[in-house]
Structure 1
Amino acid sequence: MAEQRGRALGAAMLGMLLDGYDLSIMAVVLLPLSSAWHLQATETGVLMAMALLGSLIGGLFGGFLTDRWGRRKLLFPNIFLYLLGALVSALSPDTAALFAGRFITGLAIGLDYPLVATIVAEYSQTAHRGKRFARVNLAWYLGALLSTIVGWSLLFTGPDSWRWMLGSAIVPALALLWLRRGLPESPRWLVRRGQYSRAGEALALLKPACSAAERQTELDSFQIPPQSWRILLHKAWMRRLFLSIFPWFCLDVVGLGIGLYFPTVLRDNGLASSNATAAAINAAVLIVSALGILFIVSRLDRWGRIPLQSAGFGLMSLGLAIFALCSWQHWVIGVYLAAALYAFGMGIGPGVTVFALAVEIFPTELRASAAGLATAFSRLGAFLSAILFPIFEQSWGIPLVLVCMSVVALLGLLVTLVYGIESRMKSLEELETLPAKS
């Protein structure tokens, strides 16, 4: 039987691609929609925040349900919900319907996030787990880039081009439904539930080339006494939880706040001559982040999560500070170079590592729940950023907003250095029993 680990990775990558596509298409959607519907700053903020609010709620419930019911049972309901939201969004007759459609798509993505993170962690070999996290997060940027290209190409279809943009997400969603069929349950989760026979069958599907003795040895290694959620109340585990939550919160405050509005910032501040130019520059910046991830694909398992996350936050903060200065002086080339430095920092560090740390350092019984909690808090940061960014930009001006974003990135760096737990080249079981810093 064909090895299933490749399909599991492909399904995780396509799930992240869909998230990147859905969130990033809004940056281009806003260009024709704001003109067609004459959106005010508050309406724009609410529109951009609805999917993030849905993701916040979905992340909380998705993590709990994934730990309670298993990884496999949530593979399909999330995507059907997403298809519904995409259709409602594309056919919206007014802002209320559009807000509802965006909330539904965000809810579906939030439900899927902890599932995808858990699948990558539990279906990967220790030596290649970091590489797989990098590839999955690279898929997010590929989805964001693809959405920018699709959105740019549809700009020329007229004032209703935004409907085609939102509806186009149905295509990758249908592809994801097809790819997820037949994936086995996580052997780790089955062992912790006492379902040893099913765990053996699932592991045989994931590793058909291994001998029965090798698979039995691996199954035996999964048999660690189950942990209660109450351990998260202990100081040492609360430090782990803070490490998984706060840097991701900082990343989404900065990354999605800027990512959602970058094309309109360029256009409205005279840094891009047209909608098409703004979309093209946005695509170039996404490519820089993708190149950053490509740079660390073969290095993440050698250099470690904490050093790269620290370096990434540092470059992001520096890039944003330079961006603020150059936009204040209206030095266009400097703005582009600063945006590239910021984007590269995101790619080599927190754009990948926060996703990995959110699941790697927790027990199997709590892994998806911890990832769901981290997802929820990260989307809370993105939600606040999406609501407040256009309001603060209008009141303060873009340079001061970018300085604030630079400070948030520095906070992410500080917490990473103080609370960091390195997961490089350690099995999930080793990390589970590794003494946390107290």
Structure 2
Amino acid sequence: MNRQGGLSTANVRNRPGADRQRGHALGAAMLGMLLDGYDLSIMAVVLLPLHSAWHLHATETGLLMAMALLGSLLGGLAGGVFTDRFGRRKLLFPNIFLYVIGALVSAFSPDVSILFLGRFLTGLAIGLDYPLVATIVAEYSQPANRGNRFARVNLAWYVGALLSTGVGWALLFTGAASWRWMLGSAAFPALALLWLRRGLPESPRWLARNGHPSAARAALARLYPEYTSAELGTQLTAFQGHRQPWRVLLHRVWLRRLVLSIFPWFCLDVVGLGIGLYFPMVLRSNGLAGSDGAAAAINAGFVLISALGIVYILSRLDRWGRIPLQSAGFGLMSLGLGLFALCSWNGWIAGIYAGAAVYSLGVGIGPSVTVFALAVEIFPTELRASAAGLATGISRLGAFISAVLFPVLEKSWGIPLVLVVMAIVALLGMLATLIYGVESRQKSLEDLERVHDRVATP
């Protein structure tokens, strides 16, 4: 047994077929993240034909890119509170139905205002899903492999991004209405997600903490059929505890954790979404790609570099820890953006590509996975989704600001100065990680919330 009174995670992990029942939950979480990656990344390609069709000016472009992020901001805040209050299952399907509606509204938009509405609805649906997905991954995983599972889920985001780039590139050749097909295509992975989520059990941790011991035992037995009756009882005892009110987060210890979960993620989205959404346009406007198709292909190459970074840490995140990798990742992002900016000033194309590659690798080997994991790992069960929703919402506020301002500042300042600002933001993310870091590697969720025993509720 571990020191929390629960089962030895090594023994559970090594039993034949032990993870089979959890694979369903992991697959549902991965497809949810794939949908987010597909939805956000398809817009980088959509802008290319849409600009030609509707002649959007910089403000309209920024607002269009920002509407989904605004929806995600509101959805993250609401979804986290709802998931903690009513359980992890209640939002599994309504938010995906909402996404399909938003995708179809976007595809059939007669004008830019309706397109704004469609993008807002898709963003709202994804925002509702984010704290739910993060909580499912955390609560359905063992400490020994929880980091690996978070990495897999975030890798699915990049699979979605690459898939959307490929689909978008192929649809570019369908003519002036290609952007409509691109936006409508997002409904297909959403429908697949509806099918995959059927039959997922409620979180045993949530049930145990909310006064449903019998239901918690049944859900735990379903997720871990290899457990004996005694082992089920031992694990349920570890899950139970005193419910903590929201005001406990005002204590200094928890405020530090809030800063760790919110500020680095905010920095990541300010930089990552700004660069990611507009990178094909930057390539075209700076003469680095001769066609829309070439810009989409080059963009896919850098997305692939980030994905390879995640592949590299799949087996290392649970050994090396979240904080070292997050710090190193932000450092590489800042270094890469600085090189990108410097070479943009003097027109050194090879240096521009090298800087973009270093930046992309930095995103993949750390922050893209670790901010997502830390937002749920370091908070108690009854506040876990709410804290993740708060982090999601504020991070999308950063992405919203970046999406609105990036095209405007690029026109007034030029791309090199904008990249310098982005490099500084990435550096701030690294510093916040080092100052406020709480390592969650190889620790059970119950152990991570035992800070309750050491602090008083304000």
TM-score range for the pair, normalised by the shorter chain length: over 0.9
| Offset from partner CA, 1:148-171 (integer Å, 9 cap, x none) | 000001000001100000000011
Map 1:336-347; keep pairs closer than 5 Å. 336-347=353-364
Q: Supply the AA of the counterpart residue of 1:334.
A: G
Counterpart mapping for 1:9-408 below 5 A: 9-408=26-425
How far the C-alpha of 1:75 sits from its partner, in A, is 0.3
Runs of 4+ in 1 over 6 A off after TM superposition: 435-438
Moved more, 204-213 or 236-245: 204-213
Residue 434 of structure 1: CA displacement? 3.6
The superposition leaves residues 338-380 of structure 1 with CA deviations (integer Å, 9 ceiling, x where unpaired) of 1111000000010100000000000000000000000000000
SS of the aligned residue for 1:72 comes to: coil
Cα deviation for residue 437 of structure 1 reads 11
CA distance in 2, matches of 1:149, 1:162: 13
Distance of 1:205 and 1:90 partners within structure 2: 40
Distance 2:87 2:350 in 1: 50
| 2-structure distance, mates of 1:307, 1:29 | 36
Partner of 1:7: 24
Q: Which moved more, 1:289-298 or 1:201-210?
A: 201-210
Q: Deviations over 1:259-284 (max 9, x none)?
A: 00000000011111111110000000
Identity of aligned residues (%): 76
> Unpaired segments of 5 or more residues in structure 1?
none
> Post-superposition shift, 1:327?
1.4
Q: 1:235 Cα deviation (Å)? A: 1.1
Structure-2 separation of matches of 1:427 and 1:76: 29
Residues 318-338 of structure 1, C-alpha deviations (whole Å, 9 max, x = no match): 000000011111222211111
CA distance in 1, matches of 2:368, 2:260: 15
**Cα offsets for 1:99-147 (capped at 9, x unmatched):** 0000000000000000000000000011000000000000001100100
Superimposed CA distance per residue, residues 369-413 of structure 1 (whole angstroms, 9 cap, x where no aligned partner): 000000000000000000000000000000000000000000000
Q: Distance in 1 between matches of 2:170 and 2:349?
A: 25
Report the alpha carbon displacement of residue 224 of structure 1 after superposing the two structures with TM.
1.6
SS of equivalent to 1:4: helix
What letter matches 1:96 in structure 2?
S
**What residue number does 1:425 align with?**
442
The runs of 5 or more residues in structure 2 that have no matched partner are: 1-16
Per-residue CA shift, 1:220-250, capped at 9, x if unaligned? 1011211111101111111100100000000
Q: CA deviation at 1:39?
A: 0.3
Distance 1:210 1:344 in 2: 40
Greater shift, 92-101 or 427-436, is seen at 427-436
